[in-house]
Amino acid sequence: MAPPPTSDDSAGLVARTVAGDNAQPLTISEISALLKRTVEDRFGFVRLRGELSGVKRAASGHFYCALKDEGAVIDGVMWKGNAQRLNFRAEDGLEVIATGKLTTYPGRSKYQIVIESLELAGEGALLALLEKTRARLAAEGLFDAGRKRRLPFLPQVIGVVTSPTGAVIRDILHRLADRFPSHVLVWPVLVQGQGAAEQVAAAVRGFSALEPGGPVPRPDVVIVARGGGSIEDLWSFNEEAVVRAIAECSIPVISAVGHETDTTLADFAADRRAPTPTAAAEMAVPVRADLAFSLADLATRQRRAVYRPVELGRERLAARARLLPRPENLLQPQAQRLDEIADRLRRALGDRSAKGRERLAGVAARLAPSLLSRSAIEAQRRLEAARLTPALVERPLQNGGDRLAGLVRVMSQLHPEKPLERGYAIVRDRAGKALTHRAEAAGETLLSLQFRDGTLGVVPAGGTPPPQPPPAAPRRRTATPPTQDDLFG
């Protein structure tokens, strides 16, 4: 190269080309291209560790950020294709390891790293990301205890979201068969690696979208299961898509991810957390043998409850029966009295028979032929001694005739027409009934007056006289029968 120009030479206003000088001036673009080529050739593959800052996703899908440490900052860009393959949500403050190549950006005279892959810098960074995601989702209320639902006691259909080839599904099916055989629907998914979170979230939402009574039975409970592993292996179940799908599921969800010490965000969002997939199967269904034993015990208790009042009633009845007198004691006085009466009856019958025999013997003694003959002779003698005088017959006849004559005299005086001979009259109505009151006579339109020698029709005062019937023939007076003379007078 030519020596630098002297002070005298530099005093000019126009740049001059010195003879033998090969340092031709470069344009900005040329130097930028030289720098870009030099940086890319020298740093074509680098791995940088730093803290993310200024994370931004453009509408085009590209990912922009800055990596920094205590003393420097370098810009980074990840193109859309690589950004879509990120296994975590990049946020400010995360410590990451970026793999890519260095390049320059001539438009701003800056250098930057084109990131091909982005990884968290160790489990500490991963746990920090996990805690930040947990806090953010918890603030939205996705982990609230009030959102937890009770599991059905005896589900008819159980949905399982897991890998179809792993040991998890075999353990679940085996445990269900041992406890209570049920209808199981398996939704096969990836449980680790790229796309696993999207498949798990889609499976949970798919079970939730099934309609009751459709061609595919709707599960009563869903089990999201995976075997144990490192935090990186289980990271798919910490993804926000999986957590939101579990929280929004309309079916109760059991999370059985990893072993007892493993915890994922899916466990917080699920209605129940199972320490192992086998434990999830135990939570889902009861033990059929225990149910049968419980039913038998309830049936026994029911029978006891039904028979207990009967037994108590029987005991109370027996206690009251012991207080009652015995039947033979109640009947003993009557039996004794019956014996006494029967004994008295036998004695009375014997005495009566003896007395009857005595009377019969006495009567038989009086019925001797000699006594009968003597009685007959005495009766004949009394008959012959008795005389029939006329006075014995005439006296009763005379007394009867006197009584009869007296009755005839009284009858003639009490005859209703006897007063007619003394000038009285009998007032009768149309029917011939004798009237004894003035009010009865005043209510009649025609009256009949019976006299000694006939009847006369009259009209009460103020009445209209009816037509007169032809006069009746004079009634002939009945001759009074002659009084019978006394037969003995």
CATH code for the domain defined by 28-120: 2.40.50.140
CB 427 within 8 A of CB 434: yes
CB 98 within 8 A of CB 48: yes
pLDDT value at position 123? 62
pLDDT value at position 25? 77
Between CA 447 and CA 444 the distance in angstroms is 7
155-286: CATH superfamily: Hypothetical protein af1403; domain 2 (3.40.50.10550)
pLDDT value at position 1? 45
The pTM for the full model equals: 0.47
pLDDT value at position 486? 45
Domain map of the chain by residue range? 28-120, 155-286, 291-327, 419-458
With a cut of 70, list the residues of the chain below it in pLDDT: 1-12, 15-23, 122-126, 386-389, 392, 462-489
pLDDT digits (tens, 9 = 90+) for 307-327: 899 889 989 998 888 888 777
pLDDT value at position 470? 57
pLDDT value at position 468? 55
